[in-house]
Amino acid sequence: MTRSTAPGRSRLVWTVLPPVGALVVGLVAWQLVITLFHIPGYMLPSPATMCRTVLAELAMISAPTWVTMREAYVGFLLAGIGGVLVGLIMSRWRLMERGLYPYLIVLQTVPIVAIAPLFVVWLGPGAVTNTVVAAMIALFPVAANTLAGLKSTDRNLVQLYTMAGAPPRVRLLSLRLPSALPAILTGLRVAAGAAVIGAIVGEFVAGVGGGQGGLGYVITESAVRLRTPELFLAVLAACAVSLLLFGVVVLVERRLLIRWHESALPAEE
Amino acid sequence: MAAPLAQRVEPDTALVEFAAADKVFTNGFRALNPIDLSLARSEITVLVGPSGCGKTTLLRMAAGLTAPSSGRLTRRTERMSYVFQDPTLLAWRSVQANVELVARLQGVPRAQRRERARRAIEMVGLAGFEKAYPRELSGGMRMRVSLARSVTSEPELLLMDEPFAALDEFNRERMGDELLNLWRSRGLTVMFITHSISEAVRLGHQIAVLGTQPGHLVRLFRSPSPPAAELAAPRDGAALRELRIQISEMLGGARI
């Protein structure tokens, strides 16, 4: 499809301008509050200080960011694959659904901060534990959405496949999985945010220093030492890690659903 | 490929036969009293009646999706297609892929099903829309895709469950014409369910009027002026109107 550039550009402006405007207004207000009320830097660093810190500490923050990123993304991948598999198994055998679902809910409702130390005991502190915690917290949304998606296949289509003599494998690959795809992708979107939270919570509890700590470790460390600019920087980096993953999932979602699913339609159509 | 219609008709053997077939569901609910009904080859049999008269149960029996509780069902073909009230398409596949779907599932070789799909798409007037996705089509067009799909597997028996009920009057009539064209060109045997008495009278060679509580056959009509094999053959409007009124009164002044 061809589209003239003018409306494309105006849409870009319409998408980009409001959040950027809000950011500028926010930064100005931030600076004003600090100057007017003489707020000390250890409580709230000024935007100017922040900018300086960002530039100065970019090298410092990149290593922990990379650590957290790896933990969160590997955890997300494990949860994605595992969640789809668990969903598949539960949808295939009713007994498995009955047997497993309650524990999935337990897994979801147990406070992650409370269970993380247990993993430290089992697996020792470090990236492996944090990855497992990330995967664990991200598993449920994928599994639950996959199951719901697989179970809501159009009955008439199932009947059509049955009448045509399609074996279960074909029914799954050609009908049930594709029709569950929007639900699976929704699960992955939720899981993307959850995995980063999981990795950072893991690091709060199990984070190791010595140049191997992730953002969670940097956050606890700089909070204790009142190095607020660094703390802010770590928070920003965590947001970036989260947003990047979320963005990739959304892009994949758009790409896969663009021609057929309502959720991928542009708003004005 | 199509043999002349006259040679295909074998009036002695019905393609589908219900012999005192009834249906009682496992919870004890009687959906259908014993019914005798024969579907002659290359004829359109329409089942008309109010909701809950067991029409769909009969159709599902004919499709082999459910068995009669007692009595007997004989179907002398395995080549059948089912058309639902909704288009029932794969939203993530193009028109072309959707039309080919059932033939593909049945293992029809690629080149062959392509050619069949091309002809079917042309027949229902969707040439040029092969690459479109269902979402991009109107309701009537989607139903045409569904109809094209149903013939691409080259069935002998077409089972249709209120296929045009969701369409507006105009599209409904056009789809009825499409069905008659299909029937003319392929000599299909059709089992067609509808709520609409006028649709029943327009399409049917044989019209089974069904009643409710539990579902039962009220009366079986032979059309006084059935759809003819020649497109241009005139039909006796007065006789059909008479039949319509008769059925309507039988169903207690229901929709004409």
The region of weakest confidence among A78-87, B19-28, B78-87 is B19-28
The CATH number of whichever domain residue A208 belongs to comes to 1.10.3720.10
Q: Give the residue from chain B lying closest to A180, CA to CA.
A: B92
Instruction: Tell me if A165 and B106 make a contact (CB, 8 A cut-off).
Output: yes
Contact with chain B for residue A171, Cβ under 8 A: no
The CA angle A79-A80-A83, to the nearest 5 degrees, is 70
CA dist A77 and B61 (Å) reads 47
Q: Which of A157, A259, A261 is facing B88, going by the closest CB pair?
A: A157
Tell me the pLDDT band of B1, cut-offs 50, 70 and 90: very low
Residue B249 has pLDDT above 50, yes or no: yes
CA distance A179 to chain B (A): 8
> What pLDDT score was predicted for residue A9?
66
Contacts of B135 in chain A (CB under 8 A): 259-262
What does the pLDDT look like over A177-228, one tens digit per residue?
899 999 999 999 999 999 999 899 888 887 666 567 888 888 888 888 888 7
Structure tokens at A244: 């990047």
On whether residue A42 sits in a domain, the answer given is no
Contacts of B129 in chain A (CB under 8 A): none
Contact with chain A for residue B246, Cβ under 8 A: no
Contact with chain A for residue B3, Cβ under 8 A: no
- Smallest CA-to-CA distance from B125 within B109, B148, B159 is with B148
> What pLDDT score was predicted for residue A242?
92
- Looking at the domain covering B1-79+156-256, what would its CATH class be? alpha beta
Interface of B with A in 122-161 (CB under 8 A): 133-135, 153
CA dist A88 and A79 (Å) reads 14
Contact with chain B for residue A173, Cβ under 8 A: no
Contact with chain B for residue A175, Cβ under 8 A: yes
pTM of the shown model: 0.75
CA distance B237 to chain A (A): 37
List the domain boundaries for chain B. 1-79+156-256, 87-154
Q: How many contacts (CB atoms, under 8 Å) link A and B?
A: 49
Instruction: Tell me if B88 and A165 make a contact (CB, 8 A cut-off).
Output: no
| Best-predicted range by mean pLDDT (A24-33, A69-78, A86-95) | A69-78
Q: Which of A156, A162, A165 is facing B88, going by the closest CB pair?
A: A156
> What pLDDT score was predicted for residue A74?
95
Structure tokens at B42: 């290359």
Tell me the pLDDT band of B254, cut-offs 50, 70 and 90: very low
User: Could you give the number of structural domains in chain A?
Assistant: 1
* One-letter identity of residue A58: L
Contact with chain B for residue A269, Cβ under 8 A: no
Contacts of A259 in chain B (CB under 8 A): 92, 133, 135
On whether residue A34 sits in a domain, the answer given is no
On whether residue A126 sits in a domain, the answer given is yes
Instruction: Tell me if A165 and B63 make a contact (CB, 8 A cut-off).
Output: no
On whether residue A97 sits in a domain, the answer given is yes
> What pLDDT score was predicted for residue B3?
44
What does the pLDDT look like over A88-122, one tens digit per residue?
998 888 888 888 888 888 888 888 888 888 888 88
Give strand pairing partners of B82.
B159
> What pLDDT score was predicted for residue A206?
75
B63 and B223 Cβ atoms separated by less than 8 Å: no
Overall residue count recorded for chain A in this entry: 269
> What pLDDT score was predicted for residue A254?
85
Query: Which ipTM did the prediction report?
Result: 0.77
On whether residue A202 sits in a domain, the answer given is yes
> What pLDDT score was predicted for residue A135?
92
Contacts of A179 in chain B (CB under 8 A): 90-92
Contact with chain A for residue B173, Cβ under 8 A: no
CA distance B119 to chain A (A): 21
Contact with chain A for residue B106, Cβ under 8 A: yes
Q: Helices A127-151 and A177-206 meet at what angle, rounded to 10?
A: 160
User: Dihedral of the CA atoms B167, B168, B174, B176 (nearest 10)?
Assistant: 60
- How confident is the prediction for chain B on average, in pLDDT? 80
Contact with chain B for residue A160, Cβ under 8 A: yes
What does the pLDDT look like over B66-118, one tens digit per residue?
878 787 778 887 788 888 888 889 988 889 989 998 888 888 888 888 988 88
In a mutational test of the B interface, the residue from A1, A157, A159, A160 whose CB has the highest number of chain B CBs within 10 Å is: A160
| Structural domain range at position A188 | 75-259
> What pLDDT score was predicted for residue B256?
39
Is the alpha carbon torsion for B163, B165, B168, B172 positive or negative?
positive
Q: Is B73 helix (H, G, I), strand (E, B) or coil?
A: strand
Residue B221 has pLDDT above 50, yes or no: yes
Instruction: Tell me if B153 and A164 make a contact (CB, 8 A cut-off).
Output: yes
The region of weakest confidence among A58-72, A127-141, A169-183, B7-21 is B7-21
Instruction: Tell me if A160 and B82 make a contact (CB, 8 A cut-off).
Output: yes
CA dist B73 and B62 (Å) reads 7
| Ramachandran quadrant class, B107 (left: phi over 0; alpha: psi -120 to 50; beta: rest) | left
Contact with chain B for residue A167, Cβ under 8 A: no
Backbone angles phi, psi at A4, to 5 degrees: -65, 155
Instruction: Tell me if B88 and A175 make a contact (CB, 8 A cut-off).
Output: no
Instruction: Tell me if B105 and A181 make a contact (CB, 8 A cut-off).
Output: no
